[in-house]
Amino acid sequence: MSTRKTVTHKGVSKVKARLTSRDKRTMAQLVGLADAVENAAGRRRDPHMDIPTRSLSNVRYNKTKRFIEMGKNSNRRQLFNLSQAKSFMQTMLAASGATQLIEQGKTTSIRGLYYLLKHTIEGTKEETFGEQSECDPVIEDVEVLLNSLREELHLYAQKRGDMVGDLVLIDRGDEIDCSRMGSGGYGIPSIVEPEAIRFKSCKARFVLHVEKDTVWQRFNEDKFWRKHNCILTHGGGQPPRGVRRLLHRMHAELNLPVYCLLDNDPWGYYIYSVIKQGSINLAYESQRMAIPDAKFLGLRSKDFERCGLSASVKINLSDTDRRRAKQIAAYPWFAHKKPWQKEIKGMLDNGFKLEVEALISRDISYVTEQYTPERLNKKHRLD
């Protein structure tokens, strides 16, 4: 490690870390952002930054790449505009915080960065950030402005998700055999970039991603992953960025097909959409997150009758469910797929939704011993 010193905005002297090649690229972008402001000020011009617009109106579905991507619209943020001066300062402050983390070779949570940056501006009673909700979108502004993953800024989100299967990886120098992690499995970290997580060996044939921990526990206890030679993951509902990024890497780098077993409700459909096409809110990261070849195994609208389920497992659709289902059916990546239109219409016609756990009403291991093995057959998949 280098012995050079750097001084933070709070005046604390810290040791600079040796940078990886990715860190150097990110630092160059951060320095370029600072230089642009300095150069504008030196020419007595209003410093500004053009931040790509993060809204549905600036998102499009690329039919060739088969994922969502951000358009070219942007919003100009200017220092000498009174209505934008504070947000300009906050953006530069967030970039400065990321620079500090990279220089020191440290990572922190989004909450941690908020506290790192939060202080009273000298000579005023004004706080840099009043609440974390004020800081979070500014961090996203920096991400999209620099076209960098949050993890490349040395920031991590909440860790949520587990994995088990015949995969050996190197996690920051530690060798992890994911087939020997007991009942809890390997906890998927938020930062899973190649500098942090490296794949050593993999004998699995595919990845099965389930929606929730409760379902994942059933599959793990029944050793489904061993019997069917797969990697089993979950994301605790809507999968966090670390889980999505790791799924993308396993698909792209290990050539593993990704299958999703999710609830028969608008939320399950949306989770599949995010895994497959990317998130509307994070469209700028789709190329490193989306898995266009991911397949949906279930739960299906016709499974209530097909599986002979009890009426007691029905959950009536709310008005919100119905509105959300129609919104999802209108997504460009679903709108022209007849099987998906039929699937969503089937749920709406049923008037109820189903959770994967409903299959337990047949038998405690029905989902692992009969339902999923049958659905792995090609004719039962939705694309």
The dihedrals phi and psi of 324, each to the nearest 5 degrees, come to -65, -40
Query: What CATH number did the domain enclosing 36 receive?
Result: 1.10.10.10
CA distance 182 to 87: 47
Task: Provide the whole-model pTM.
Answer: 0.83
Residues 173 and 266 in one domain: yes
Are residues 128 and 16 both part of a single domain? yes
- Told to judge if 259 belongs to the known catalytic residues of this protein, a careful annotator would answer no
Q: C-alpha distances in angstroms, 174 versus 168, 170, 198, 374?
A: 10, 5, 10, 37
Q: Which residue among 124, 156, 188 closes a domain?
A: 156
Structural domain range at position 24: 5-46+81-156
**pLDDT confidence of residue 1:** 38
State the 10-residue block means of pLDDT for the chain, 383 residues long: 49 69 89 90 88 82 87 87 90 93 91 92 88 91 86 84 96 94 92 91 97 94 96 93 94 97 95 90 82 94 93 95 94 91 95 94 94 86 88
Q: Detail the DSSP E strand segments found in 270-361.
A: 295-298, 315-316, 352-353
pLDDT given at position 6: 53
Query: Where is the domain boundary, 127, 156, 185?
Result: 156
Tell me: do 196 and 315 sit in the same domain: yes
Q: Check whether residue 142 and residue 191 sit in a common domain.
A: no
* Last residue in a domain, options 114, 138, 156: 156
Per-residue H/E/C for 90-130: HHHHHHHHHHHHHHHCCCEEHHHHHHHHCCECCCCCCECCC
Residue 256, domain CATH:
3.40.1360.10
Tally the domains of the chain: 2
Same domain as 151, residue 166: no
In a domain, 88, yes or no: yes
Helix or strand or coil: residue 176?
strand
Query: Residues 115, 269, 284, 366: which is the catalytic one?
Result: 115
